Amino acid sequence: MGGGATRLHSVLAQTLSNNSPLSLPSSHLGSCQRADANLDQVFCQEQKGSPLCPPDPVDLLRQCEEALRDRPQRIHRKFTHLSEGNGASSSPIRVMQWNILAQALGEGLDSFVNCPMEALSWSRRKYLILEEILTHRPHILCLQEVDHYYDTFQPVLSGLGYSSSFCPKPWSPCLDVEGNNGPDGCALFFDQSRFEFLDSVNIRLSAMRIPTNQVSVVTVLRCRSTGKYLCVAVTHLKARSGWEWLRSAQGSDLLRHLQNLIQKHPSGPVGSPFSDIPLLICGDFNAIPTEEVYRRFAASPLGLDSAYKKLSQDGLTEPEYTTWKIRPTGECCTTLDYIWYSQDSLRVDAVLNMPTEEQIGPNRLPSFSYPSDHLSLVCDLSFKEGE
């Protein structure tokens, strides 16, 4: 970056400071202003009327860490590198899946009884979320429970070179919380330097042909380095016990949509590039591995496998947990989040390990160290040779 590197990028200033029209409630103004001041050295801006120069992600990460300097020790995670086929790709595709916890739900409805309200404030959590994303720098980023898309994630990540699509829930529970920032939904981001956008569709998932409150974003991309196509979906299925049948129906509906998309349409051109396209499906399924919706994905004719099974010794077992929280009803430690991929076309090169119980801490998630009750899933994928 040039000599203007000490000035704040105007987009970030509008989205991460309280001078924005979409500011935080007055109860958060003091702490937010102190934290936002730490980002004043991150981005540069050209003269008025000229394009904004891209921020340096390393500088932004450093400033996020500075804004969070008073927090307990950060959770550090390492990658497990896998030796499959001819070895890891020299240029893998990094994918991140994460339910980031909607701000309105964290503060208003989710009742994390061991988490101080200060740790749930947006003035703190936005830096923790951004820090996690910047630490791993994914090429494809799939998020759920996004209720700050338009005022934070879209403009900030756009400044970092990401393009995105967002689909809010039709009846988001966030809207029941006073002072909410709008509905939560699913968001899909991709690195424009790595992928070319081809098409995207927002899907409202159905059960027995009846529309439900859960959604999916499906985007078709072309890899700039290989010229190969990739269909990416992000979703968030119905939560809570007793709704297993609905999750199964929603999962089946998503699989149906994806199968229709990637199959060559009878009226389409011969050799359509969307025929047999590799799939990547990320989401908070709200389903443990023994549930029917998990079995449907595992047994799908689309040939899907779950990336995080690669962490197990037998390669067949999911992690013990992807979420660990304490609510008034008790402690919940289970696996609900997945990265599914086309195993015939894609190879898993590396997987980010899950933190230990000691790293998470006795009060579980979220916390001053981690902004969500769900852990991020990150893996490196590459196209198999000849695919």
Closest by Cα among 48, 68, 49, 59 to 6: 59
Instruction: Please give the structure tokens belonging to residue 136.
Output: 């791993």
> What's the pLDDT tens digit per position in 101-142?
999 999 988 899 999 999 999 999 999 999 999 999 999 999
pLDDT band at 55 (very low <50, low <70, confident <90, very high): confident
Could you tell me the domains of the chain?
A: 3-67 (no CATH), 81-383 (3.60.10.10)
DSSP output for 227-265: --EEEEEEEEPPPSTT-HHHHHHHHHHHHHHHHHHHSPP
What is the sign of the dihedral through the CA atoms of 270, 276, 278 and 280?
Answer: positive
pLDDT tens column, 192-247 = 999 999 999 999 999 999 999 999 999 999 999 999 999 999 999 999 999 999 99
Q: How far apart are CA 321 and CA 305, in angstroms?
A: 18
Three-class SS state of 340: strand
More confident residue, 87 or 182: 182
Q: Is the pLDDT of residue 92 over 90?
A: yes
Q: Which of these, 306, 285, 256, 334, lies nearest to 144 by C-alpha position?
A: 285
Cβ neighbour number for residue 109 with a 10 Å cutoff: 12
Q: What is the pLDDT of residues 160-172, one digit of tens each?
A: 999 999 999 999 9
The whole-angstrom separation of Cα 146 and Cα 109 is 15
Looking at this protein, which amino acid is placed at residue 89?
S
Distance CA 267, CA 198 (A): 19
Query: What is the per-residue pLDDT across 290-337, written as a single tens digit (0 to 9) for each?
Result: 999 999 999 999 999 999 999 999 999 999 999 999 999 999 999 999
pLDDT at 349 over 70: yes
DSSP state of 93: E
| Full-model pTM | 0.86
Question: 185 forms bridges with which residues in the sheet?
Answer: 146, 168
What pLDDT is recorded for position 34?
A: 44
